[in-house]
């Protein structure tokens, strides 16, 4: 038997009626909401910087050798945009506001925007950015722990895809 305390039905029902304006954030929410929203916004910025970097690389990838890479750049750009959407939706659920001011995106982002000149430079920069995202998301997951299972699950799903992205870039880099 676990020693997790389960709240009785009447208390659950009673609590849910308080602060209804908080929407999905109930009294049982254990997280530091402001800090989690800040982390979500930093990650949202990271995702947008990655969308823009992959788009740039997609348009700039030239030559026969670049065809495979270009297809990956485009797919990754689309998936980073999906990650951004999931993070923005969660920020709103938690009562925060998604920060999408372009002037703040590169400042708040963990990963960097590097244009890159050659295909090799582009793929290398993408791999580095993925590795930064992987480390920061892993840390965020550890920080969240059991405090906010929904946000943690979102980060876990995104982390798994960033690891695939890093693997894709490493494979391409190998062939260059
Ligand atoms: Fe992403
Ligand atoms: Fe990625």
List the domain boundaries for the chain: 33-174
78 is in an annotated binding site: no
Question: Which listed ligand is nearest to 47 at the C-alpha?
Answer: 1
83 is in an annotated binding site: yes
57 is in an annotated binding site: no
Residue 6 has pLDDT above 80, yes or no: no
Ligand 1 centroid to Cα of residue 24, in Å, is: 24
Helix segments in the chain, DSSP class H: 9-17, 33-60, 66-93, 102-108, 119-144, 149-174
Ligand 1 centroid to Cα of residue 80, in Å, is: 4
SS3 2: coil
pLDDT (mean) for 8-26: 78
Ligand 2 centroid to Cα of residue 97, in Å, is: 23
Spatial separation of the C-alpha atoms in residues 107 and 17, rounded to whole Å? 40
| pLDDT class of 60 with cuts at 50, 70, 90 | very high
Question: Which listed ligand is nearest to 75 at the C-alpha?
Answer: 2
Question: Which listed ligand is nearest to 85 at the C-alpha?
Answer: 1
Ligand 2 centroid to Cα of residue 160, in Å, is: 9
Which pair of tokens denotes residue 174?
């190998």
Give percent above pLDDT 90 in the chain. 73
Residue 158 has pLDDT above 90, yes or no: yes
122 Cβ contact partners less than 8 Å away, ≥ 6 residues apart: 57, 60, 61, 69, 73, 116
Chain centroid to Cα 169, Å, comes to 18
Which residues are near ligand 1, the ion (C-beta closer than 5 Å)?
47, 80, 83
| pLDDT class of 80 with cuts at 50, 70, 90 | very high
pLDDT for position 145:
93
Residue 116 has pLDDT above 60, yes or no: yes
Q: Give the architecture (CATH level 2) of 33-174.
A: Up-down Bundle (1.20)
Cα angle 99-126-63, degrees, rounded to a multiple of 5: 125
Residue 149 has pLDDT above 80, yes or no: yes
pLDDT for position 112:
87
């Amino acid at each position: 038997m676990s020693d997790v305390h389960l709240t009785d039905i009447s208390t659950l029902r009673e609590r849910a009626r308080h602060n209804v304006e908080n929407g999905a954030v109930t009294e049982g929410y254990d997280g530091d909401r402001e800090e989690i929203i800040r982390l979500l916004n930093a990650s949202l910025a990271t995702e947008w910087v990655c969308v823009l970097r992959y788009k740039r690389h997609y348009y700039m990838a030239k030559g026969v050798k670049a065809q495979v890479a270009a297809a990956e750049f485009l797919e990754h750009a689309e998936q980073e945009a999906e990650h951004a959407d999931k993070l923005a939706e969660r920020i709103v659920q938690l009562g925060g506001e998604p920060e999408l001011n372009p002037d703040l995106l590169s400042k708040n982002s963990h990963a960097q925007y590097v244009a890159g000149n050659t295909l090799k430079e582009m793929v290398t920069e993408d791999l580095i950015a993925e590795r930064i995202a992987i480390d920061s998301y892993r840390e965020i997951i550890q920080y969240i722990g059991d405090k906010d299972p929904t946000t943690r699950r979102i980060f876990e799903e995104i982390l798994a895809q960033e690891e695939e992205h890093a693997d894709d870039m490493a494979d391409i880099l190998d062939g260059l």
